[in-house]
Amino acid sequence: MIDVLLARLSQKHRTISYPAREPTLPDRFRGAPVVDSGKCVYGCSSCADACPTDALHVTEGKPGIDMGRCLFCSDCSEACPSGALSFSKEYRLAARQRDDLWVRGDFQPRVRALDDNLLKLFGRSLKLRQVSAGGCNGCESDVNVLGTIVFDLARFGIQIVASPRHADGLLITGPVTENMKLALQKTYDAVPSPKIVLVVGACAISGGPFVDHPEIHNGAAGVVPVDLYIPGCPPHPMTILDGLLGLLGKVFRR
């Protein structure tokens, strides 16, 4: 027993203090894209041509990036001859509306809390059934990481449960393949109402690198209603956690 106590003392406190303090992100972290239209060369489309998912459009010489399609691969910023595109350290990427994932300048966090009635139901206890609708296991792995001692998702009253009948909503990853469409719909129908739906990752939002492939459905929104979009490929665990807490009104927006 004494060995166990000594080991615990040597390990010290491992759980991050977020949201009381800002998280420490890795040096190579790529967050929200930043568009400096003033540096753009009119008529240049090098950034759009380099994008593998058609996430970047240039309109009247000004680029805009759809984070719902963006893989955060940095091909666009590397191809831009004038340095008009870059990636910041902003991890707060989630949004309630699909259109709010578009970036045409400096990105501002846009997630909003649920309405008062749903907050009364889910604000202190939220159970989610995770559905991998054809994912590569990238987003799924980062969702699983939230259950470790570092993030300790359960301390916020949020848990991943095994059955949709025990859930308050769905957390969906993957592009929704044809083989998973019916399974996703049945899982959604099995969740008692009222319920919420969160989509995590570019695949679940838009199809990601598989967008417009005949065997996928370009994300979950065409199959079930969506309440929160969390972009990334895959999103960093902090991005997912911030989106969840923002939805439940548990973080203060600076």
Residue-level length of the chain:
254
Question: Which residue type, as a one-letter code, is found at position 67?
Answer: M
Q: Provide the pLDDT for residue 188.
A: 98
**Residue 253 has what pLDDT?**
52
- 10 Å CB burial of residue 159 (0-12, 13-18, 19+) is middle
Per CATH, which fold does 116-247 belong to?
A: Rossmann fold (3.40.50)
- List the domain boundaries for the chain: 116-247
147 phi/psi in degrees, rounded to 5: -85, -5
**pLDDT value of position 128:** 98
Per-10-residue mean pLDDT for the chain, 254 residues long? Answer: 79 84 93 90 88 91 92 94 92 96 86 94 96 96 95 96 97 97 98 97 96 94 97 97 95 60
* pTM greater than 0.85: yes
